[in-house]
Chain A
Amino acid sequence: GEDVEQSLFLSVREGDSSVINCTYTDSSSTYLYWYKQEPGAGLQLLTYIFSNMDMKQDQRLTVLLNKKDKHLSLRIADTQTGDSAIYFCAEMGDNTGKLIFGQGTTLQVKP
């Protein structure tokens, strides 16, 4: 079945760039998403990319998609302490609207 994998932890210094990586197995994925979850909160949709795109930029966020390698990344420029959270990658593989989530990457930003 479909699977989405992420590394579990990333630590960066404030002001540096963060790159969170994700791999998926479903070659029919139509949309891929990045969500942010702060402690005790729900999921905040950060951005998403359609599978026929290679890159999407939104202010400090850059999403890169390598469809051949089934690899997705989220780059956060000028990382701030407020960016500390768990980041989930998710893919939507078919027309049902269901999302398959990765395990989440905990981003720790040190001052």
Chain B
Amino acid sequence: SAVISQKPSRDICQRGTSLTIQCQVDSQVTMMFWYRQQPGQSLTLIATANQGSEATYESGFVIDKFPISRPNLTFSTLTVSNMSPEDSSIYLCSAEEGTKTEAFFGQGTRLTVV
């Protein structure tokens, strides 16, 4: 199974600033995704991180707010831009290998915006 590491694990940020979250997978994977889990809520997909091209965003999420990079098959970043307290959430990276059966998650980044 793929092991996914996220950095930072948690952060407290000032409103108006930006935070970049890193996701590193210990093996090459075909699919990488970013999810948001708001306090006490379930997970909502933000976007699919496409290797070598622009990410595919879900309804309600835009590139200007959540720019995503995926330079290779093992690494991706999510930036939360111009943060407000409403962005306080857990952000989780997910990866799936070629068979698209097992979907693994990182431990998440707990973001608090003050």
Interface size on B, residues (CB 8 A): 24
When distances are taken between beta carbons in the complex, the residues of chain A under 8 Å from B108 are 41-43
Q: How far is the CA of A33 from the CA of B104 in the complex (A)?
A: 11
- Chain B binding site: helix, strand, loop or mixed by DSSP? strand
A53 within 8 Å of B by Cβ? Answer: no
Task: Return chain A residues, CB-CB under 8 Å to B31.
Answer: 97
Whether A97 pairs with B96 at a CB distance below 8 angstroms is: yes
Contact status A97-B102, CB under 8 Å:
no
Total inter-chain residue pairs, C-beta < 8 Å: 56
A111 to B87: give the CA distance in the assembly, Å: 37
- Kindly provide the distance from the CB of A98 to the nearest chain B CB, expressed in whole angstroms: 6
Q: With A42-B92, A97-B31, A98-B48 given, is the CB distance from A33 to B42 under 8 Å?
A: no
Q: How many Å from the CB of A63 to the closest CB on chain B?
A: 14
Residues from chain A with Cβ under 8 Å of B105 in the complex: 35, 42-45
Contact indicator B42/A48 (Cβ below 8 Å) = no
Binding site for B on A (CB under 8 A): 31, 33, 35, 40-45, 48, 50, 88, 90, 92, 95-99, 101-104
Q: Which residues of chain B have a CB within 8 Å of any CB of chain A? A: 1, 6, 30-31, 33, 41-45, 48, 92, 94, 96, 100-108, 110
